[in-house]
Structure 1
Amino acid sequence: MSAETEELQGFYDKSVAAAKSGYPEIDADRLAAFIAAQPGIEGPVTLSNFIVPQSSGASNGILLFTAEFGRSGERRREDMVARYAPGTTMIKQKSFSDEFLTLVAAYKRGLPVPEPLWLDADGSAVGYPSFVMARIEGTPPASAMYSKGPLADVSPEARKAMMLEAAGFHGRLRREAIGRDELPHLLARGSGETDIERELNWFLAEARLSSEPDDPKLEPIVEAHRWMVAHQPAVREGTLVQGDSQIANVMFRDGRLAAVLDWELAYLGHNEADLALIVFLTETMKQLDKHVDGTPTEAEYLARFEEEAGAPAEHYDFFKLFPLFKTQCILLSGRSFQPAFEQVWTYYLAHLHAELANAKRIYGD
């Protein structure tokens, strides 16, 4: 391991901790009143067993709790999760309404996602834009996915099976083909003539919202954006993509996928980009977190994705650029939370340049 990557080890844990250190606490009384006001809920509503996860969720406030309330004349106790805006948001264009509505569509299709319950889009009830969802039983995910969470203390064989199942989910999502008729709210995400352009433009706007106009760090992002728009391939119409497919957003139970979490970056596009992020993080997290055995190869990931999708991956070499481009944009959005921003920026930028050079060999300069 180089001195550079050794210095970056623990980056994800440090970033999450730095972000969460400034998050406000949600008001439990206001949250209880919000739940009590929902149709079919009978008071009184009492909340208990509060837990604030510390190893995941850098861009949102997250509160786990138990709610006791009445429904149809009977008292009930249910475990729930509140996801809320953390004051100063890392992702400037974040929409809690969009994320909630996307979860509604995915849940209706029977996908393994938490059941979305209630939305406070403007924060007028709870105090922050937020929504409440049912809590899934399982091992909590962790941003440092090899040293903590469900992938940490398992055999290499079990680790590989779990990681392949996570990739398979994105193939299944492609097969489901949840389109714009079920997700009309995502049509307003970004501007452009194609699904590819809209998504790239959304992230470029995110980077610019967090940078001065003359920031030199915008230059490689703009250059990559320009090339990707000019060389975008002809592809199928975009359908639902989760948008942040790192396995740190997957909850497992008894070694099997229980739920896919964190749909705030969902968009209408092409699931091959999410597959590319899984493949990329599988190897880079061995440098940024810890080395482990029993991880799938790129070929194994592709085979599982295509099996679940029921179709071959399209323009995978082009979509390998998506997660690297997006990572640079998000790094600018969250630079104030990053304890080793310059080193991380340089590390990921080198990967973007290398992948862009590879794409140019295939698609032209």
Structure 2
Amino acid sequence: MSELDVDQIGAAIVKHQRGARFAETTPDQWGDRLMQFIGAQAGVSDVRVANVREVGTAAGGSNGTLLFEASWTEDGEPRSSGLVLRFMPTRGLFHAYDVTAQFNLQRALEATDVPVPPQIWLDPDGNLLGRPGYVMGMVEGASAPMTWMTSGIIADAEPAARREMQLGYLEALARVHALDWRALGLEWLEKRAAGARPIEREVNWYWDSLEYADCKPYLEALRPLRDWLVANEPADIDTVLCHGDANFGNYLYLGTAVSAVVDWEMSFLGTPECDVCFTHMGDQIIQNDVPALEGTLSYQQRIAEYERLSGRKLRNMPYFELFTAYRLAVINVLTFRHFPEPILRQLLPVIERGPKIAADLAARVGLEILLPPSGTID
């Protein structure tokens, strides 16, 4: 796949995701809602909201995101700040969106050495915003697009800086995984889905989304993989908080340093291996033939550097690569219901790559995954 093709695919995905998020609501309408929402907070008055806008092309994720400037008086003191609204999309990929959980998770992380935006106000039911959502502080920094090897801040960096940015990403992951999630009060993540063990729960969470979307051909095709992952979950794992959507687009940079880790809606209790292999597996779907730029860490180098930075030895990597391929395959299949058919036909070669990668990896453990014929979207 050429660099032009990769960038066009990334742009098409972002464009459609925005349309799904902002359906039937203009930035001006969001501005009015934000003024009402902020003005309803205790001790707040004289609210002004301006410059409501979408995020740049690096934005992905499954929630809606808007940037804006606001001024207000709080407890008699004038305040002003750039802020960010995150809200549940009108049409989303997954079966479950819990903005309260996202807000509470990030608020818990504020007291740690993992850099996250400060969480400010929550509208759990969408009574004032029109959609469940929350407002958080704006953190200075830029992120890479999903096509990070062909465009954006990492691709544009000098080789030495490109390497430092990847090391910063791995260091941020190591910090996330070092957190005591019980001390942070995150035991509620154990109820994310049915199951007695961490990976079993996450396998079931994605299966719940697949059942919700009623993708019958892929439910039949992927069931053997789902069952195998549950039956073969390693016993000797370190259960940690996983970022979940650990791609470069969810790490803001100031220079070569990570200034914030964002987009926590896919977070779960898993293992370090789940996050470390996530970008590698995702790149095989959308950037599989793109040559690595000088200063780009290979997958094996990322593993080695993560182990150095974290002091952990990664284990059972073939299992967790297959688990990650399963997650990404389900996400790809869910897009069959998410994209309109003209865009879907354009993206189909990429979207079908996720299930194929999962099937190829499954074959290595003796599983035969019989995928539907190409072009099967119902």
Same fold (TM over 0.5): yes
- Please report how far the alpha carbon of residue 359 of structure 1 lies from its aligned counterpart in structure 2 after TM superposition: 4.8
Matched-pair contact (CA < 8 Å) for 1:142–1:148? yes
- Please report how far the alpha carbon of residue 141 of structure 1 lies from its aligned counterpart in structure 2 after TM superposition: 3.6
Q: 1:115 aligns with which of 115, 118, 125?
A: 118
Q: 1:84 aligns with which of 75, 83, 87?
A: 87
Partner of 1:51: 53
State how far apart, in whole Å, the 2-side matches of 1:28 and 1:197 are: 42
Matched-pair contact (CA < 8 Å) for 2:143–2:248? no
* Segment of structure 1 superposing worse, 75-84 or 58-67: 58-67
Partner of 2:351: 345
- Please report how far the alpha carbon of residue 94 of structure 1 lies from its aligned counterpart in structure 2 after TM superposition: 1.4
Does 2:286 correspond to 1:265? no
State how far apart, in whole Å, the 2-side matches of 1:218 and 1:48 are: 46
State how far apart, in whole Å, the 1-side matches of 2:363 and 2:111 are: 41
Partner of 2:371: none
State how far apart, in whole Å, the 2-side matches of 1:303 and 1:291 are: 18
State how far apart, in whole Å, the 2-side matches of 1:301 and 1:135 are: 29
Deviations 1:88-136 (A, max 9, x none): 2222211111111111122222311111111111111111010111011
Instruction: Report the 3-state secondary structure (helix = DSSP H, G, I; strand = E; otherwise coil) of the residue aligned with 1:279.
Output: helix
Deviations 1:251-292 (A, max 9, x none): 101121111110001011112111001233456554477863
Partner of 2:374: none
- Please report how far the alpha carbon of residue 225 of structure 1 lies from its aligned counterpart in structure 2 after TM superposition: 0.8
* Segment of structure 1 superposing worse, 262-271 or 107-116: 107-116
Does 2:190 correspond to 1:184? no
Question: Alignment identity in percent?
Answer: 26
Partner of 1:243: 244
1:111/1:181 CA distance change after superposition, 3 Å: closer
- Return the letter of the residue paired with 2:360: A
Matched-pair contact (CA < 8 Å) for 1:16–1:54? no
Partner of 1:152: 155
- Return the letter of the residue paired with 1:204: W
- Please report how far the alpha carbon of residue 70 of structure 1 lies from its aligned counterpart in structure 2 after TM superposition: 1.5
Q: What is the RMSD of the two structures over their aligned residues, measured on CA atoms? A: 2.4
Partner of 2:373: none
1:14/1:99 CA distance change after superposition, 3 Å: same
Residues 280-299 of structure 1 correspond to what in structure 2 (within 5 A)?
Answer: 280-282=281-283, 285-287=286-288, 292-299=293-300
Partner of 1:304: 305
Partner of 1:205: 208
- Please report how far the alpha carbon of residue 352 of structure 1 lies from its aligned counterpart in structure 2 after TM superposition: 1.3
- Return the letter of the residue paired with 2:177: R
Matched-pair contact (CA < 8 Å) for 1:167–1:278? no
Partner of 1:13: 11
Matched-pair contact (CA < 8 Å) for 1:9–1:289? no
1:206/1:21 CA distance change after superposition, 3 Å: same
State how far apart, in whole Å, the 2-side matches of 1:109 and 1:126 are: 29
- Please report how far the alpha carbon of residue 43 of structure 1 lies from its aligned counterpart in structure 2 after TM superposition: 1.1
State how far apart, in whole Å, the 2-side matches of 1:199 and 1:235 are: 17
Q: 2:362 aligns with which of 356, 361, 365?
A: 356
Uncovered stretches (5+) of structure 1, i.e. residues with no partner: none
Higher relative contact order (CA 8 A, sep 6+): 1
- Return the letter of the residue paired with 1:12: G
Instruction: Report the 3-state secondary structure (helix = DSSP H, G, I; strand = E; otherwise coil) of the residue aligned with 1:152.
Output: helix
Q: 1:163 aligns with which of 141, 166, 183?
A: 166
State how far apart, in whole Å, the 1-side matches of 2:161 and 2:285 are: 20
- Return the letter of the residue paired with 1:51: R
Partner of 2:253: 252
State how far apart, in whole Å, the 2-side matches of 1:43 and 1:288 are: 54
Deviations 1:147-200 (A, max 9, x none): 443213111221122112212222222222323861133122110111111110
Uncovered stretches (5+) of structure 2, i.e. residues with no partner: 368-378
* Segment of structure 1 superposing worse, 264-273 or 89-98: 89-98
1:93/1:247 CA distance change after superposition, 3 Å: same
Query: TM-score when scaled to structure 2?
Result: 0.86
- Return the letter of the residue paired with 2:156: D
User: What count of residue pairs does the alignment treat as equivalent?
Assistant: 356
1:346/1:30 CA distance change after superposition, 3 Å: closer
